[in-house]
A and B are shown apart, each in its own frame.
Chain A
């Protein structure tokens, strides 16, 4: 893991190579994170992989987060690993909620990092984040006819009621 200074160096070099790519950084709980522009995610991950001295060649995990009261609302985390130095860095792409009936979009990285294929499908499945140009973007864990994005924070917890003796009067006609 790069220390705080190293993280700022990465940020500066990355912003030199790709202007406005890195929005912010943090270095907390022993973790280094680059908060980046989602539209440039392919260039950023490619730069971190291919630049001599960086070489974060291994994409360990892709996952989504919903930070609901915060804006931008969604985050997609890419956990990178340099296997030679055993250094990890996290890249968080930020996405704002486009509102009702629209889904947040960002480019896929699954052609360059094949491991991202299924993991982007999982992020799509649970958070409704669309990865543009993904070869096979459909639900992976939930049933294909499922409606809704169940891991979003505003998804209703619970769902259908259960009939106990103390609730049977509230569920009219259940016995018919």
Chain B
């Protein structure tokens, strides 16, 4: 007898149920009277109630309903366009609605080199987007300048706006962009991926410690010192949205880490 009443309170079970206001009021009154008790109440709660934290729900919703800005900069934009196509289909992750206005978008994909003339425009687009907003730097050019080491191109888009995800490649395959987007989703949901150095216990393999391929005494010391830094930093911070991944803090000037030789300083190209 009581089970039938419970079923009547589950709207999905009986689509033919009368949804008039009166019936719903009667049902609510039944609930308030404590008609269901004990195990039945437990089961009812178990079947129809989900508890979570509000920020978690918000981040879950944000991560799965991202509106990217319709914004292409260079050849990477071609790969970005095919991400929306049925073959790659970013709609699987809820980000297929490309908005033609920055005020409706919450993700900016920098798909190509940013020239110094374009940088203020990109910055203005970013400023016009509403919070919360995320930036994906797609390809070598927008991440580091890439092959364009010249007067016209900004050497890395994070010189003028905060970048959340860098997708390497020249250009990256659409799968790579999707992979970067998935990483961004996990970042938004407060569970960022650990970086590859942490995952493979590879601290101490930074290029500056390697001394151009030749394993010298100083490089070996640098390996050991970098491992000390990594161990002192402990587990990667996680659980906070937007936490930078695989960064143990700013590089420390340490007496026991040999500085790079003078001839190496200032050589970037």
Residue positions of A touching B, CB distance < 8 A: 142-143, 146, 148, 150, 155, 157-170, 175-176
Contact = CB atoms under 8 A, between A and B. Distances in A.
A142 B268 contact: no
B266 A158 contact: no
A9 B226 CA distance: 76
Given A169-B251, A169-B260, A161 B155 contact: yes
Contacts of A169: 208, 251, 259-260
A164 B150 contact: no
Contacts of A143: 116-117
A170 B260 contact: yes
Contact of B269 (A155, A157, A165): A157
Interface residues of B, number: 23
A170 B265 contact: yes
Interface of B: 116-117, 144-145, 149-152, 155-156, 159, 206-208, 250-251, 259-260, 264-266, 268-269
Nearest to A160: B155
B259 A167 contact: no
Contacts of B251: 168-169, 175
Contacts of B159: 160
Contacts of B265: 170
Contact of A165 (B145, B149, B208, B250): B208
A163 B250 CA distance: 13
A162 B144 contact: yes
Interface-centre pick from B149, B151, B152, B207 (highest chain A CB count, 10 A): B151
Contacts of B264: 170
Contacts of A150: 150-152
Given A158-B149, A158-B150, A161-B155, 14 more contacts: A142-B117, A157-B151, A159-B150, A159-B155, A160-B155, A165-B208, A166-B206, A166-B208, A167-B208, A168-B208, A169-B251, A170-B265, A175-B250, A176-B250
Nearest to A163: B156
A166 B155 CA distance: 16
A157 B207 contact: no
A166 B144 CA distance: 13
A124 B107 CA distance: 39
A133 to B, nearest CB: 28
A34 to B, nearest CB: 32
Contacts of A164: 144, 207
Contact of A157 (B144, B145, B149): B149
A54 to B, nearest CB: 39
A81 B257 CA distance: 66
A143 B119 CA distance: 11
B214 to A, nearest CB: 14
Contacts of B155: 159-162
A143 B117 CA distance: 6
Contacts of A167: 208, 268
